[in-house]
Amino acid sequence: MVPFSLRGHDGAIRVVIKANDEPQHFGCDLLDRKLPPDVARGFPVCEATPEIDLVGYAGTCGWVQFVRSSDASDEFELDPLALFRSVDTPFAFFGVKPVLFDAPFRKSRYDLSWTARSFLCAVPDAVMSKSVQPVAAFAWGFAVTHAEIDIAAPTPLGLAVWDEHLPILRTSFPGWSFASSATG
């Protein structure tokens, strides 16, 4: 569990990371119909659920995720859902206590390391402005070595890590305001 506070209420994020033993159950067959769903088997599945006693607008928050993968870049990059790539939002998921779901995989098992930093964020006035502040964070990921997949357990992160990502957020979304961890 990763503790957090939202609008004066304490909560926790229940993070479950496990090997993907049922790729079709998780919809992996829907992502690329040219690939057999079994290529996702053994890679991680992450589900992070905010648990807090807030409902409606009071319970609104969103997930901003950054990923660094040795087969892409040495830097962390924003990890939006494909359908949000051209939408002016930093959120991969947003709503009333939204679940972060991710099941990354590659079509072959070459050596690589993949790390995500997942931030639960709030908009101070629920849904009225483009202002984002972090409330909790955790890291997770996997490594592939000689075709074997090693899944990293979730690790809570201090909110100061958010500040490392402010330059890319502010450049990518100039119409949004991103609070630093000290003011969040």
Assigned domain for 35 exists: yes
pLDDT tens digit sequence for 145-162 = 999 999 999 999 999 999
Kindly tell me if the per-residue pLDDT of 85 is higher than 90: no
pLDDT tens digit string along 131-141? 999 999 999 99
Q: Which domain holds residue 31?
A: 2-178
For the entire predicted model, the pTM comes to 0.95
Q: What is the DSSP letter of 105?
A: -
3-state secondary structure of 139: strand
The C-alpha atoms of residue 38 and residue 180 are separated, in whole angstroms, by 41
Q: What is the pLDDT of residue 37?
A: 79
Does 163 reside within a domain? yes
pLDDT at 31 (0 to 100): 87
Q: Is residue 184 part of a domain?
A: no
Cα–Cα distances in Å, from 178 out to 33, 105, 114, 150, 161?
37, 30, 25, 34, 13
| Mean per-residue pLDDT of the chain | 94
11 part of a folded domain: yes
In a domain, residue 183? The reply is no
Give per-residue pLDDT as tens, 66-80.
999 998 888 999 998
User: What pLDDT score does 50 carry?
Assistant: 98
> Which pLDDT band, with edges at 50, 70 and 90, does 111 fall under?
very high
Structural domain count of the chain: 1
Flag whether pLDDT at 35 surpasses 90: no
Is the pLDDT at 184 greater than 70, yes or no?
no
Q: Is 176 exposed, middle or buried (0-12, 13-18, 19+ CB in 10 A)?
A: middle
* Residue 82 pLDDT > 90: no
Please check the confidence at residue 106 and state whether its pLDDT lies above 60. yes
